[in-house]
Amino acid sequence: MRSSWADSVAAAEGAAAGSSVNNGNIGSSARSTYVPPHLRNRPPSSDLPAPGSSGSTSGTDRSGYGAPLGGSRWIGARNDSSRSGYGSGGRGGGWNSRSGSWDRGRDREVNPFGDDDNAEQTIDEEENTGINFDAYEDIPVETSGDNVPPPVNTFAEIDLGEALNENIRRCKYVKPTPVQRHSIPISLAGRDLMACAQTGSGKTAAFCFPIISGIMKDQFVQRRPRGRLVFPLALILSPTRELSIQIHEEARKFAYQTGVKVVVAYGGAPINQQLRDLERGVDILVATPGRLVDLLERARVSLEMIKYLALDEADRMLDMGFEPQIRKIVEQMDMPPPGVRQTMLFSATFPKEIQRLASDFLSKYIFLAVGRVGSSTDLIVQRVEFVHESDKRSHLMDLLHAQKANGVHGKQSLTLVFVETKKGADALEHWLYINGFPATTIHGDRTQQEREHALRSFKSGNTPILVATDVAARGLDIPHVAHVVNFDLPNDIDDYVHRIGRTGRAGKTGLATAFFNENNASLARSLAELMQESNQEVPAWLSRYSARSSYGGGKNRRSGGGRFGGRDFRRDSSFNRGTTDYYSGGSTGYGASGGYSGGYGPGVTSAWD
DNA sequence: AAAAAAT
């Protein structure tokens, strides 16, 4: 259902009871002023530039029933002085029709870049040089599925729209990362996607760009709220609150001045502000599962109009702890089914069993794997040291002292210490603190306020040591983490991959040290393999350990023997024997149809095997 | 066994 401009105005008037109708729907001159009905469907008058092409009367085009724009498919962002001179100039004007007038009472959009007008140059100049692309040359890529759209080499090749291009420029993204080069064309083509790409390689943008551009381009008219029930067009789920916050912050930058509204909802924080944010209008909802379920049950959010579903850290979202909640959200509420909506799953790791679960959510999807085994491999120097349980603290102390002595030039370098338990985190933090190391901690027993404060304090270098449980293992992008210490190793090699991925991001180098002892025997083999694949020096004692502890591949063995970070489970006979022809199409690089034909079955090496 | 995620 599409709502007309008039409907929107009426709704706003009703709800806002005579208050002003805010916003650029009417052109900037009308912002925050009441517009009499007889003037409402007029094209904006004086202060908007002439539309880029003839005949486009963006004022009336907006008015409803999704009439295509006369001139450009792109509804330009609000004309704004800060956009001067970039690209082909602001054509169009005004907002696209999704941002209906029930979006009332919001002041001018806050600039998420914090660089009002032309202060850009001075911000973070030397440290925000963006991604080190040389680090990503010659990265192995595997795609499979029907008719995979070819990758692109530049953002310019992709029709993302002017406003988004401007934001990409402001983010100082010069060219797409490998995962972006491949996944964005796939998503823009409307295809479902399961993507496996290294930590720190730009996955957030990879799913945000197509969503934002799609919402702008396709002119979905957002459904007007029914009472206080709102209808987002895109849903992005993530496994931790802090990750949702981070995705929201990034997405807001990408969506700046596009008219696409991004709202975040997560637990542990007062729900009222989140409800107010939702009432102001939402196109993209970023959420953690629990709070979203709450919102759905309160009938404050409907998934009926969802066009895009993205799961970040998708394998985590579908593991034992989360799967029921995710199924509820995706399958048992009012979300459109696969094939109607577009679904994108992203993670650095993707175990085959989880791929099988995930395939329930997808329709004729493309599998994409970029890079090796999750980690940024060569960029992270991995060390493993044999440390008895009782020696861990003093050993950590030695590391920290050495680091201090080495003297870090420039920005304070940060150390992230992973432990197994929440209590252990508190205990270690306290111990570090009384020993003169400024540390803080983040884990699930702390209040949300404490968690966010800890993260800020760490990021700012105020507390350069952060002791964390796995709540911080995935997705968090913390610049200047020079060292990740696995004080307690995780039980699962994939968790190790995510943890060490907190360093060595965006093409920068990092160090990861693990304390290994007899309690970690079950991890020995997969750890040794992972390190070998990443060209790391594997200590002889670890190799001996792994030889000893291996009887045929336990739970931690990567199926297929590890190596390359992801393989499409549809190509693995043990996962689809005799059943559905999951993998029926052609594939890039693998030619023939039908399973893993062409000699690329398990055990056969290819360039990146 | 642990961690995370709603109140």
How does pLDDT run across A412-462, given as a tens digit for each residue? 789 999 999 999 999 999 999 999 999 999 999 999 999 999 999 999 999
The residue with greater pLDDT, A499 or A607, is: A499
Q: Which of A22-31, A138-147, A267-276 has the lowest mean pLDDT?
A: A22-31
Q: Strand B closer than 7 Å to the CB of A58?
A: no
Q: Is the dihedral of CA A593, A597, A601, A607 positive or negative?
A: negative
> Which residue ranges form the domains of chain A, and what is each CATH number?
5-83 (no CATH), 137-370 (3.40.50.300), 377-548 (3.40.50.300)
CB of A379 closer than 8 Å to CB of A135: yes
Q: From residues 257-276 of A, list those within 7 angstroms of strand B by Cβ.
A: 266-269, 271
pLDDT at A325 over 80: yes
CB of A372 closer than 8 Å to CB of A338: no
| Spatial distance between the Cα atoms of A536 and A375, rounded to a whole number of angstroms | 12
Residues 6+ apart with CB under 8 A from A155: A165, A168, A173, A175, A176
Nucleotides of chain B in contact with protein CB (under 7 A) are: 1-7
How does pLDDT run across A132-176, given as a tens digit for each residue? 555 555 678 989 999 999 999 999 999 899 999 999 999 999 989
Distances (CA, A) of A209 to A77, A203, A212, A218, A303: 15, 10, 5, 14, 21
Q: Strand B closer than 7 Å to the CB of A420?
A: yes
CA–C1' A471–B4 (A) = 7
Mean pLDDT to the nearest integer, A269-281: 95
CA–C1' A219–B3 (A) = 41
pLDDT at A98 over 50: no
pLDDT of residue A128: 40
Q: Which nucleotide's C1' is closest to A319 (Cα)?
A: B4
Q: Which nucleotide's C1' is closest to A423 (Cα)?
A: B2
Residue A504: which pLDDT band, with cuts at 50, 70 and 90? Answer: confident
pLDDT at A308 over 90: yes
The residue with greater pLDDT, A48 or A271, is: A271
How does pLDDT run across A27-46, given as a tens digit for each residue? 333 222 222 222 223 333 33
pLDDT of residue A379: 82
CA–C1' A350–B4 (A) = 18
Rg (CA), chain A: 25
pLDDT of residue A403: 79
* Mean pLDDT score across all residues of chain A: 75
